[in-house]
Chain A
Amino acid sequence: MAQQYFLHNRDNPDSNKIDFYLQNGGYKALETVVKEYSPGEVIEIVKKSGLRGRGGAGFPAGVKWGFVPKYSDKPKYLVSNADESEPGTFKDRYILEKEPHMLLEGIAIASYAIQANIAYNYIRGEFVYGARVFERAVQEAEEKGYLGQNILGSGFNLKVVNHRGAGAYICGEETGLLESLEGKRGWPRLKPPFPAVEGAFKCPTIVNNVETLANVPLIINNGPDWFSSIGPDEKNTGPKLYCVSGHVKKPGLYEFPMGKNLKELIYEDCGGMLNGSLKAVIPGGSSVPVLTADEIDVSMDFDSLAAIGSMLGSAGIIVLDESTCMVDALLNLERFYAHESCGQCTPCREGTTWMVKILQRIERGEGRVEDMDLLDDIAEKINFRTICPLGDAAAMPAASFVKKFRKEFEAHVKKGKCPVKKDKSIKATHAHV
């Protein structure tokens, strides 16, 4: 098994304590950074590493940090996005609960790079345990002088504030998050301006995913060249967490280099299919286009998945076997998006619910021949026409399900009922981590 950087301490109950972290070389990277590097140098190193955002869009982290206006006299903020709510995704939760100091060290380095003196960790409301662990970690780090005033004698100050969300998926979208952080409704903002220029409290703000930030100390400790040597090419680099759920023998959280082969992951590491044969895989969290069983011999990285019309997204891999009704599965997804739409923009607010109603009807056996085209058209009319990408996230699965599993949709219509023999026996008992 390849070397692991996140999951190697998973069985150690003390992995989230600072003493354990320090014994294993923790906070060395921060020390190096504040003592030896200028903020600009840190940004250059991260750029060179090729680290891309793990929150979904895969934007190069160093490049994003570089967008913060250097000569602005406004305060700057760093936000760690720990809202992890994408269905099928459970990697940030692991970091928060088991490796909070990796995250904190990453937060401190990133804050130094953009010269922020306040960092927020916006954590999903349901992560009660994670929030408690994180807050204890902050306290430990403050006591040991890795956070707070004059960190390690460098003159750099950083206050880390844990901010608990109230249970809305949309508050994971970075501008919805910022509104929520400011105490308002989590309504995503129009962009531009981008948060790097005008974010929290109208000040330059960098929002990064938890996993993105947790990678930063590794880059500093081992060097950008080491980091970029992991993975299939220089644009898809570093270690990566993969969340596997669904009809496999061993679902759970896995760590491999960027670019793990999906087929191998399912059939070897996860022990293959649970009962039936494979029907489909959603590779990057619920928002990305679905893959058919024939499409899974693919490298799990940003560009390879994009090349076959899907996305790495949050690397939440949802495996579906033949007992899954694709109409039902899409209905389940769309119900989620309709429920989580913030309701600002018309296409997302109205379109998602409309799709739910149509899917419910098809699943009931009251579908019409024209419904498939209608679903496809609604998806098209939502896609790229909304304020935030939640609209796209609702549209992409719909379009891909209808396109790739049209026969199954049509069978519902023809038979006047759901033709799939569903397996209701599966229970989530095989957690790997």
Chain B
Amino acid sequence: MPTFKLDGKEITAEPGTSILQAALDSGIEIPHYCYHEALTVVGSCRLCLVELNNSPKLVPSCAQNVQDGIEVRTHSDTVKQARESMLEFFLINHPLDCPICDKAGECELQDYTFKYGSSHSRMVEEKRVRPTKDLGGNILLYRNRCVMCTRCVRFYEDIVGESYLTVEDRGYRSDISIFPGKGLTHKMTGNIVEICPVGCLIDKDFLFNARVWNLETTKSVCPGCSAGCSINLQHKDNKIYRIRSRQNTQVNQQWICDDGRYLYHRYEKLERIGFPKKRGGEKLNNTSWAEALSIISDRLALVKRSRESEKVAVVGSAFATNEENYLLYKIFHDEIGCDKFFVYNREAEGEDEVIKSGFTVYSDKSPNYYGAKLILGERTDFWSEIKNGNIEVLYFLNGDIDIKVTDQQKELLKKLDFLFVQCVAMNDLVRLANVALPTAYFAEQSGSYVNAKGHVQKFQSALKPPSETKEGWQILADLYKTFNGGVSFVSVGDVVNDMAQNVSAFKDISFFKLGDEGLRIR
């Protein structure tokens, strides 16, 4: 492997690594715009120029691979000067409108200028002014802020595999432009806002909504489909302002689709259940958690006493966390002796959508079908079981905010003696329940999902659920306590530890060990 000197320090890097990447990997920053590790190298912004002992010219470190024995200087006077002048060039037509730019605070033009630039410009002429363009979809192009790095153009060419953007005209009239007849409607489009190093590509969804430095970030996993992309939830005052992709080389690289990116709005519009409910004749009435849980545990205790556990069935969910599904199993299997476990999943939507880079948006729109099956088994057809009259008591854990219950299925549910449901929002299950428990959705709770490839990832709660709504694992831990006061689960980590001991697929896993990128199952 080539060994070379970087600012006097000996560095070893894989052959074929660019000087820039090797520097970044060893913690030395070389400012850059056009370089992006996932995209073709074009070496055009010239910001990453460094000095090389065997070259009379400064070289673009993104386009020059490491070689044995070379000496690279990234902080010499010449390099500093070149950087300063390059930043001056970038700014001569830039409007300096940071105060009204959504990118401010996470803008590489701001950051680099602050670190490497000069505090004044020698340009006294009038700047070029161009109106902002609407590229369609959610994307605005603030053309005055563009640094012409062409990352956005290459994103479609290299990652998506279909060109949407191009550079129009040339020289200083160069302009990012969309091919005629196309709108920026591709599902992967939101990513270009993230990779644009400046505030040129702006997401209408976030436009003027918040200053980024006021947002808190919580690591999470997208529940939009069974790809399970790593995401960051960015929030303030118990409200999500935007979802950003989070790098995970084992899952989504650094991309997410727009279905996932804007998914949080769906939850904002839900009619939440608000309080635990119990049935009084035709009506559902609010009740306390204590009462709701005791109705359930009393009914289950009766089943147990009368040795009628075969009349009890449990439907877990591909939309619930492993911890929820696991506790469900623990209660009903270990404490009640039930052995009828099913997994609910919604029908897949269309085909999997695969783009050039291999990134896939799955047709299975549940985040945890894989995990739910590991814990509860493969059975899914609980409807015919109800139809056959084999079930009298049913605990239905859901989480799917798009669940559709047909009239026929409603009739079946009415046949049950007791229906307990645990749901995020009002739906037909809740309306037919004897007891309904309001549960948190993914952003309001912690837990883990297993994606379609068998990769377990954890996520943390970012928002507080509404006052009488609880995290799913918490509800089930409380229910468990009514049967077995000896064991108590204080945190979601306790549930994972217990699951690791009892479900072989999760052997040796702990909430801590899952880290940021998660683990592949066996």
Q: Which residues of A are in contact with B by a Cβ distance under 8 Å?
A: 168, 170, 185, 190, 338-347, 349-354, 357-358, 361, 368, 374, 377, 381, 384-387
Query: Chain A nearest CB: distance from B51 CB in Å?
Result: 12
Cβ–Cβ contact B174 & A343, under 8 A:
yes
B27 interface residue, CB < 8 Å from A? no
B171 interface residue, CB < 8 Å from A? yes
Q: Which residue of A lies closest to B60 (CB)?
A: A190
What are some 9 contacts across the A-B interface (CB < 8 A)? A339-B171, A341-B171, A342-B171, A346-B47, A347-B46, A350-B92, A350-B172, A361-B125, A384-B58
B89 interface residue, CB < 8 Å from A? yes
Cβ–Cβ contact B46 & A338, under 8 A:
no
CB-CB < 8 A to B129: which residues of A? none
Q: Complex: how many Å from CA A232 to CA B47?
A: 43
User: A349: which of B58, B63, B82, B171 is its contact (CB, 8 Å)?
Assistant: B171
- Chain B, 116-135, CB within 8 A of any chain A CB: 122-126
Cβ–Cβ contact B89 & A343, under 8 A:
no
Cβ–Cβ contact A347 & B89, under 8 A:
yes
Query: Chain A nearest CB: distance from B128 CB in Å?
Result: 8
Cβ–Cβ contact B172 & A353, under 8 A:
yes
Q: Complex: how many Å from CA A338 to CA B115?
A: 29
Query: Chain A nearest CB: distance from B451 CB in Å?
Result: 38
CB-CB < 8 A to A345: which residues of B? 44-46
Sorted nearest first, the 9 A-B pairs with minimum C-beta distance are: A343-B174, A341-B171, A350-B89, A381-B85, A357-B125, A353-B172, A344-B44, A343-B171, A190-B43
Q: Main SS of the interface on chain A?
A: helix
CB-CB < 8 A to A368: which residues of B? 124
B167 interface residue, CB < 8 Å from A? yes
Given A343-B170, A347-B46, A351-B89, 9 other A-B contacts at CB below 8 A?
Answer: A170-B170, A340-B170, A341-B170, A343-B148, A346-B148, A352-B171, A361-B125, A374-B122, A385-B82
Cβ–Cβ contact B171 & A340, under 8 A:
yes
B269 interface residue, CB < 8 Å from A? no
CB-CB < 8 A to B57: which residues of A? 384-385
Given A349-B148, A387-B44, A381 and B170 contact (CB-CB distance below 8 Å): no
Cβ–Cβ contact B90 & A346, under 8 A:
yes
Q: Main SS of the interface on chain B?
A: loop
B301 interface residue, CB < 8 Å from A? no
CB-CB < 8 A to B58: which residues of A? 384-385
Q: Which residue of B lies closest to A168 (CB)?
A: B170
Query: Chain B nearest CB: distance from A140 CB in Å?
Result: 37
Cβ–Cβ contact B171 & A346, under 8 A:
no
User: A190: which of B45, B63, B170, B174 is its contact (CB, 8 Å)?
Assistant: B63
Q: Which residue of B lies closest to A390 (CB)?
A: B171
User: A347: which of B86, B125, B170 is its contact (CB, 8 Å)?
Assistant: B86
Query: Chain B nearest CB: distance from A343 CB in Å?
Result: 4
Cβ–Cβ contact B82 & A343, under 8 A:
no
Query: Chain A nearest CB: distance from B172 CB in Å?
Result: 4
Cβ–Cβ contact B46 & A350, under 8 A:
no
B49 interface residue, CB < 8 Å from A? yes
User: A338: which of B42, B49, B147, B172 is its contact (CB, 8 Å)?
Assistant: B172
Q: Complex: how many Å from CA A339 to CA B174?
A: 11
Interface size class of B (residues with CB under 8 A): 20 to 34
- Chain B, 59-118, CB within 8 A of any chain A CB: 60, 63, 82, 85-86, 89-90, 92-93
Query: Which has the most chain A C-beta neighbours within 10 Å: B86, B172, B173, B174?
Result: B172
CB-CB < 8 A to A170: which residues of B? 170
User: A185: which of B41, B45, B49, B167 is its contact (CB, 8 Å)?
Assistant: B167
Cβ–Cβ contact B90 & A350, under 8 A:
yes
Query: Chain A nearest CB: distance from B295 CB in Å?
Result: 70
CB-CB < 8 A to B86: which residues of A? 346-347, 381
Given A354-B92, A354-B125, A349 and B174 contact (CB-CB distance below 8 Å): yes
Q: Complex: how many Å from CA A357 to CA B121?
A: 15
Cβ–Cβ contact B44 & A352, under 8 A:
no
Q: Which residue of A lies closest to B128 (CB)?
A: A353
- Chain B, 460-478, CB within 8 A of any chain A CB: none
Q: Complex: how many Å from CA A345 to CA B42?
A: 10
Query: Chain A nearest CB: distance from B454 CB in Å?
Result: 39
CB-CB < 8 A to A361: which residues of B? 125
Q: Complex: how many Å from CA A357 to CA B174?
A: 17
Given A346-B86, A358-B125, A352 and B45 contact (CB-CB distance below 8 Å): no
Q: Complex: how many Å from CA A4 to CA B388?
A: 105
Q: Complex: how many Å from CA A361 to CA B89?
A: 19
Q: Which residue of B lies closest to A170 (CB)?
A: B170
User: B43: which of A338, A358, A384, A387 is its contact (CB, 8 Å)?
Assistant: A387
Query: Chain B nearest CB: distance from A115 CB in Å?
Result: 30
CB-CB < 8 A to A346: which residues of B? 44-47, 86, 89-90, 147-148
Q: Complex: how many Å from CA A350 to CA B125?
A: 13
Q: Complex: how many Å from CA A368 to CA B167?
A: 35
CB-CB < 8 A to A353: which residues of B? 171-172
Q: Which residue of B lies closest to A391 (CB)?
A: B46
Query: Which has the most chain A C-beta neighbours within 10 Å: B89, B124, B167?
Result: B89
CB-CB < 8 A to B92: which residues of A? 350, 354
Query: Chain A nearest CB: distance from B231 CB in Å?
Result: 33
Q: Complex: how many Å from CA A409 to CA B44?
A: 33
Q: Complex: how many Å from CA A354 to CA B174?
A: 15
Cβ–Cβ contact A343 & B167, under 8 A:
yes
User: A381: which of B42, B82, B126, B172 is its contact (CB, 8 Å)?
Assistant: B82
Query: Chain B nearest CB: distance from A344 CB in Å?
Result: 4
Interface digits, B286-327 against A, CB 8 Å rule (1 contact, 0 not)? 000000000000000000000000000000000000000000
CB-CB < 8 A to A381: which residues of B? 82, 85-86, 89
CB-CB < 8 A to B45: which residues of A? 345-346
Query: Chain B nearest CB: distance from A151 CB in Å?
Result: 40
Query: Chain A nearest CB: distance from B170 CB in Å?
Result: 5
Q: Which residue of A lies closest to B166 (CB)?
A: A185
Cβ–Cβ contact B122 & A386, under 8 A:
no
- Chain B, 202-255, CB within 8 A of any chain A CB: none
